[in-house]
Structure 1
Amino acid sequence: MRTIYLAGPEVFCPAASELGARKKALCEGYGFRGLFPLDGELQQTSSARELGFAISAANEQLIRHADLVIANLTPFRGASADVGTVYELGLARGLGKVIHGYSNDPASFAERTFALFGQGEYGGSELHDRDGLSIEQFDLHDNLMIEGGIALSGGIFLTHQAAEAEKYSDLTAFEAILSALQKQSR
């Protein structure tokens, strides 16, 4: 049974363990085994800093043991995906794994960035943020390295418009990726 590391900001949700269990159950239903970041085995620590490093090491170990990664790239605390999730995708890509991603916000990266940090009118030939720095305009959902890495690995990237209250818990796009992976496996 192929294993999937389930990256994403769900670990910060109030019902993180329940959401992880739902994702793992969906994986099982499609013939995969899900590895949720909270599944990692932690060493005993004496400080918050050491605990943070132990969590990082445990998650890296789960990624190394996974066959592939599916990441929730719904914007988190800004215009882009959760930075920890992006790190995990980069690690998996560097290890030669196929990486997949989805977002429950279908707006483009340029639209979201301009909405948060832009100035003036949206839609000009070149967009700039309030500091005068250019905003990526590649008709991509997130930074070109994120979607580019997914595409170059042979992965799938999907978006879905989720209700605001279900931004991190809607699993429609996640399940669509599982379905596509199951079909590829046949």
Structure 2
Amino acid sequence: MQKIYLAGPEVFLPNAEEIGETKKALCEKYGFTGIFPLDKTIAPQATPLDTALAISKGNELLVEKCDIVVANLTPFRGTSADAGTIYELGLGRGLRKKLAAYSNTTTPFLDRVWHQYGEGDLANAPKGEIRDKLDHKIEEFGLMDNLMLEGGIHIANGLFLTGDVDPSALYTDLTVFETLLSQLQKRYNA
């Protein structure tokens, strides 16, 4: 059975272990073995820094052992995906793993950034030169997140699905995740 590393911000939720177990059960339903970032035991180290480094190393080892990295790129704590998830996706790309991602919103990156950092009406912003309040250029490619994320997934012949869920379940609704698993099953004959 191919192993899927389940990257995403779910590790920060109050019910992280429960979500992880649910995602792993869905992986099994579609013929994969799900590996959640919390599937390792890290004993507290001498300092908080040492503990953080042990967690980081443990997650990298889990990514290395997997065949596929599936990243939850739903925006987290800002306009983009969780920074740790982004790192794990990039690590998977660097290790030439199969990649897939999903987002529980269909609002494009440009719109999310403009909503938080733009001034005025986006429809009136000069196309090709859309800038935020600090005069920083905003990507205008119609993508769901930064071009390097979506670009890396596509270059790796991966999948990236989006869907809108109830905002109160932005990080717990697994509908788009399950659809992605179904497509991965067909693609890899799991």
Query: What TM-score do the two structures reach when normalised by structure 1?
Result: 0.97
**Aligned counterpart for 2:165 among listed residues 150, 153, 162:** 162
Deviations 1:71-108 (A, max 9, x none): 00000011000011000000010000111110001100
Aligned-partner Cα distance in 2 for 1:166–1:45: 34
**Aligned counterpart for 1:145 among listed residues 120, 126, 148:** 148
Aligned-partner Cα distance in 2 for 1:139–1:44: 43
SS of structure 1 residue aligned to 2:114: helix
Aligned-partner Cα distance in 2 for 1:55–1:107: 32
Unaligned runs of 5+ in 1: none
- 1:174 is aligned to 2:181: no
Alignment partner, residue 85 of structure 2: 85
AA matched with 2:70: I
AA matched with 1:172: T
Aligned-partner Cα distance in 2 for 1:80–1:38: 22
Deviation at 1:42, TM superposition (A): 2.0
Aligned-partner Cα distance in 2 for 1:5–1:62: 7
Deviations 1:22-76 (A, max 9, x none): 0000000111000000012325512211111111000000000000110000000
Aligned-partner Cα distance in 1 for 2:119–2:8: 30
RMSD of equivalent CA atoms: 0.9
- 1:52 is aligned to 2:52: yes
SS of structure 2 residue aligned to 1:34: strand
SS of structure 1 residue aligned to 2:122: coil
AA matched with 2:130: L
- 1:6 is aligned to 2:32: no
SS of structure 2 residue aligned to 1:78: coil
Aligned-partner Cα distance in 1 for 2:50–2:149: 29
Once the two structures are superposed, the pairs formed by residues 93-108 of structure 1 within 5 Å of their partners are 93-108=93-108
SS of structure 2 residue aligned to 1:100: strand
Deviating beyond 3 angstroms after TM superposition, the runs of 4 or more aligned structure 1 residues are none
Alignment partner, residue 120 of structure 1: 120
- Tell me whether 122-131 or 9-18 shows the greater mean CA deviation: 122-131
Deviation at 1:164, TM superposition (A): 1.1
SS of structure 2 residue aligned to 1:56: helix
Deviations 1:4-24 (A, max 9, x none): 000000000010000000000
Aligned-partner Cα distance in 2 for 1:76–1:23: 18
| Percent identity between the two aligned chains | 51
SS of structure 1 residue aligned to 2:179: helix
Query: What TM-score do the two structures reach when normalised by structure 2?
Result: 0.95
